[in-house]
Amino acid sequence: MRFNPAAVPPPEPAISTRTEKLDHRPPLRQRLNEGSRAAVGPVIRFLVRRGVGPNTVTLAGFAGSILTCVLILERYWLAAGFVFVAAGMMDMLDGSVARLSGRATPFGAFLDSTLDRTAEGLVLGAIGVVLAKDGHWWALGAAFAALTASFLVSYTRARAEGLGIDSNRGGLMARPERLVLIGAGIFFAPLGATLQVVIFVLAGLTILTVVQRVIFVWRALPRAEANRPGGRDS
């Protein structure tokens, strides 16, 4: 029997997630990202078969973040941790659902990014309220510093892209790393000063990430300017 290449079925589309935002990362992070993609692949295919839209997944994740805030304010730390993780999983799924179902749109990407930042701000705000109620004023200040720096991490990337630099990513505390650290703080909040320590670490490393990205743009901007039409090399 002669081999017919046309009879070989095409390979199944590779499953990717929102963690594709982490291009140009160290190998360890890439391996972790690949492992998470393989783990959530069946869930993504299930959602696509059921006709679940990517915006629905995005909104479900945002609703989970709001529920996390309520649980934090009520100090149901373990429940808040599990809901926070589930909401984070939704954030991993929506981009892949959009691509695999062919329903990716510019507005969907915009909605996802907007709600991601809003959700992170709400959760840190809820933690800050709890810290204030307990009189941990320095930790409260650190929570606000972490919140401000987290927005600056996103802003520096967006502003760099506007200047023609599309590789200003990564650093110590990009969004996935921040979510992991926040989740750890929520889970272990009942254990003494663990939450306060996590918030101080989060604030320090996120501020350092902003500095890293500013330095990256400072170094890359002359090269980007030179490569523009009408630049020094034209």
pLDDT digits (tens, 9 = 90+) for 90-113: 887 887 888 888 888 889 889 998
In whole angstroms, how far apart are CA 83 and each of 80, 153, 231?
5, 25, 50
Phi and psi at 170, nearest 5°, equal 80, -140
The pLDDT tens digits of the residues spanning 62-77 come to 999 999 999 999 999 9
Count of structural domains within the chain: 1
Could you tell me the CATH number of the domain that includes residue 154? 1.20.120.1760
- Active-site option among 91, 116, 134, 166: 116
* Angle between the N-to-C axes of helices 77-101 and 106-133, in degrees from 0 to 180, rounded to the nearest 10: 170
Mean pLDDT within 132-140 = 95
Residue 227: inside a domain, yes or no?
no
Residue 233: inside a domain, yes or no?
no
CB 33 within 8 A of CB 170: no
Q: Which run of H or of E encompasses 185?
A: helix 175-187
Q: Which residues contact 183 (CB under 8 A, 6 or more apart)?
A: 81, 84, 85, 88
Instruction: Report whether pLDDT(24) > 60.
Output: no
- Residue 214 carries which side chain, given as an amino acid letter? V
Q: What percent of the chain has pLDDT over 90?
A: 47
Among the ranges 1-10, 169-178, 197-206, which has the highest mean pLDDT value? 197-206
Domain coverage including residue 159: 17-221
Residue 7: inside a domain, yes or no?
no
Residue 84: inside a domain, yes or no?
yes
* Residue 134 appears among annotated catalytic residues: no
